Structure 1
């Protein structure tokens, strides 16, 4: 009996306990996105973006169809097979190439597709001269100014593209449903010697595979769980590229963590690594810059984006690539001639702009499910517990009469959570514990109740790094942190997290917060992740949405009542 049910709505149901489940999961992973992974049946979905990712990675429709037929328990719907073939066939009908005379060009293997594209109001301004035309068509299609039949090809049609429009064109074509295969290549950039220094550590097999996959593909995204060593993948890719590198990160703390990792794991010295942040503006062969500085506006412009042109970069690394701010997205569109590596734990963007990551950074080159990493011992197992508490009667009345825009803050920062968090923290006094929230007045109250240090956006970088160092050394066991600790904060000792409020229903934030706990623990210790939620409020509704990504990865939340916690019952 086979383990997969293939449905005409493009969903795939995988029987997780089947003896061939692991084999099937590997076969469908390149072209199907995991949606839900509860105990027994995992749901995958085939999307155009997933199929184009697969096509960009070298898989064709025949391989996809063969995998479905091989593992399907029932006959695969014929309509689905036709749709897969036609969707994948859309990728590569348009190709970006380097022309020996005209530079960057868009070449079509299907003249009808090119006719559709050059007449698009969005795309036409990005195109230049039409080098060859189909019989019966005017030379003026697109922005062309004439025909050059000497450059024509019997089965193709070609239009000049300005190099600065390479990324914008890829974005627009993806939106139109004709993703271009980018074969225009990359400039080598300025060479710079970089080697891995593995005397005291060893590159894990999946880290090596991720780096090699991204480098071989030229550009793309590596998706690995928090705690799996994405920084190491970046370092390994840099060692393959051996060129000047620009690294974009989320905060100054992340700048320092990347610098420390590169100094510990590569041949780079302090003089070769520059920091480009709010306090320093150093440009060196390897420069680590913050998104915030590059996104900063002055007189209506983004002056620091000139950093992209400051050197002949051979590689650009985007840490937490799913967070790319719009100004960086726009500027990245002009950097298509540089090798690009995106690193993230999840490609989820609440604004739905995952397609921008595909077109501007590159296709997904490597991905491993969180649970698979846990089973292999690379990340810690986690127990997720949602603790539901009731608002008091006075709080209920105040919540009911609050303005709609204020209701979430009111219930998420309810004072009833303070006693509950104090009780939960008291159960883990000997374990490194993070209390995580969004609203500063709530966090200040909790820090006072717990007699614990507080880290917020107002905490100086020096003070943050001091507190993080004391937490890592065991000098302090409890740390209250705002959302500044969501990303790129290395606290491998953390075993417990208590989440009291969040950024509305952000799935990506939930994943990052659990990720603070997933570094492997001594003796296989299980991490504990508590989410404290106000019952029958927007807090509960948003919590359900926030948990979706983790549920998709196979994490199940146990729900317990606050009265059981306060009564001292075992959880």
Structure 2
């Protein structure tokens, strides 16, 4: 690691960390502090981070010591660190490891919650009304609970600021012997991710989240984990296309065959040793008062592993059932743990802490994902749109800005500049996308496109039979378009950082060409504010946005 007298970090008394992007060791420092701090803002000259309870407890889960955190801050801080910040970090870090869930010595349906080396915490837990309903005081520093309440207890304690170390045993599940095909080779970082998740299969491992960029082979991490455990597996995917992609990959890369791997969705409901279900079917019910009838899938077989694909998109009802199946190994896969509803703590408690995180730019430098350039193109409202925007209510302003007519001519220029490269055009508003499809005579896929038609268009795109494809929000989820090189983002879901990451991920599969991610933003409108938030996550990963005016195209 490089060192310099020009230290890049300014630590302020309000708890924020200001990182100067112009110093020589900017990237080194970013990689270090991102292990225990969350990015908040990322203008071009300074990035602002904040150390939170959750960021510290994720650091604890991957064995980053308090000494390492403090020494890193001291090594890189330009000015003396405010003593109150060091005290706060020590206090929050010290709350980890004082509560431990263990198996009951005689009854497998019960668990023990133990208080370790923390005076008065026993009394504090006894005083909490919500906890009294699910844990019962057994003796000093020891509580008893029903094993079905394992997730609920962890979640409630997390909200109180006391994360739990869970070392209660996990079920093995029914065995499923199989091997990886000889042509399937796991990359070093994929093996590291699997090892971080499983450990040596010791207590306290086998549940957690792996964070890897789109296009870096998260599916292979899931398959490699299955192969290590050799057990029946339930996989949850975001839609039918993603479910079928999982099935194709499993059958292609392992000795498992079509009779052992099945789809459980609105179109097919087969249950086999490896079952791939969609979130949509699991959360379907007749009305708001009815039960989730497909939740029985979690109990149909003795699963030894549940994989949550795109774990950052986990629907709220799935959190509920996940709290009840804590004895099963749980693997979350995602490109970003960012959730706009701030439910990252639920991912932490109910699936598990972040076990492995690979920097996007590091994988890019090693050639595992494509090199990408991110370009924000500033567009203008015409006179008619300016008037509409000026008098429109706030909720309507963003749509007027997103559907600015000038964006159509900007698309034309980008398509001309990259006339021979596979291109996807992504947007939020169907009427806008349909206008683009008609204007340029391009195929379009939306949520209403039948699955058979989607598969046909995806196949044609992969085989270079069509060069440009328009996608609605279906582009936010797992789709396999490995040759896509250009992405043009017309509009998005307000300021969603996770959506920005997913959309960039559509063009990151390894390839010889540089990929380009164009985001069209209407200036002097609310869209600019949302665009700033959307680029935050990618900036944290090391991507720099080049901002140009539409004339420069």
The two structures share one fold, judged by TM-score above 0.5: yes
Mapped pair 1:206 → 2:211? no
* Match in the other structure for 1:303: 293
Residue 270 of structure 2 is aligned to residue 266 of structure 1: no
CA distance in 1, matches of 2:158, 2:53: 10
In the TM superposition, 1:351-366 aligns within 5 A as 351-366=341-356
In structure 1, how many angstroms separate the alpha carbons of the residues matched to 2:179 and 2:92? 41
Aligned to 1:172: 156
Query: Does residue 539 of structure 1 match 2:527?
Result: yes
Asked whether the equivalents of residues 210 and 357 of structure 2 are also in contact (C-alpha less than 8 Å), the reply is yes
Tell which deviates more after alignment, 443-452 or 533-542.
533-542
Distance 1:560 1:13, change over 3 A: closer
Q: Which of 368, 373, 394 is the aligned partner of 1:404?
A: 394
Which residue is equivalent to 2:543?
555
Matches within 5 A, 1:309-324: 309-324=299-314
Counterpart pick for 1:479 among 469, 479, 486 = 469
Output aligned runs, 1:50-65, within 5 Å: 50-65=55-70
**Over residues 361-388 of structure 1, what are the superposed CA-to-partner deviations in whole Å (9 max), with x where a residue is unaligned?**
1110001222222222221121111122
- Give the alignment partner of residue 504 of structure 1, picking from 478, 484, 494: 494
Higher mean alpha-carbon deviation, 430-439 vs 12-21, is at 12-21
Match of 2:128 among 120, 135, 141: 120
Cα distance in 2, alignment partners of residues 268 and 325 from structure 1: 29
Q: Return the match for 1:30 from 31, 35, 39.
A: 35
Whether the aligned pair in 2 keeps the contact of 1:6 and 1:74 (CA below 8 Å) is yes
1:132 maps to what in 2?
139
Within 2, Cα distance between the matches of 1:273 and 1:100? 37
Answer yes or no: is 1:220 the counterpart of 2:224.
no
Counterparts in 2 of 1:108-507, with a 5 A limit?
A: 108-109=115-116, 110-128=118-136, 130-133=137-140, 157-197=141-181, 199-216=182-199, 217-299=205-287, 300-507=290-497
User: Against the structure 1 CA distance between its residues 405 and 475, is the aligned structure 2 distance closer, same or farther, given a 3 Å change threshold?
Assistant: same
Residue 451 to residue 496, structure 1, CA distance change in 2 (3 Å): same
In the alignment, is the contact (CA less than 8 A) between 1:252 and 1:290 conserved in 2? yes
Larger Rg: 1
TM-score by length of 2: 0.92
1:223–1:344: 8 Å Cα contact kept in structure 2? Answer: yes
Cα RMSD of the aligned pairs, angstroms, is 2.1
Structure 1: gaps (5+ residues):
134-156, 566-571
* 1:538-569 CA-partner distances (Å, limit 9, x unpaired): 2222222222211222222222222343xxxx
The one-character-per-residue Cα deviations of 1:329-386 (angstroms, maximum 9, x if unpaired) are 1111111111111111111100111111101111100012222222222211211111
Tell me which residue corresponds to 2:98: 93
Unaligned runs of 5+ in 2: 200-204
Q: Identify the match of residue 509 of structure 2 among 510, 514, 519.
A: 519
> Once structures 1 and 2 are overlaid, which stretch shifts more, 12-21 or 476-485?
12-21
- Conservation of the 8 A alpha-carbon contact between 1:38 and 1:552: no
Task: Give, in whole Å, the separation in 2 of the partners of 1:443 and 1:326.
Answer: 30
Structure 1 length normalisation: TM-score? 0.89
| Alignment coverage as a number of residue pairs | 538
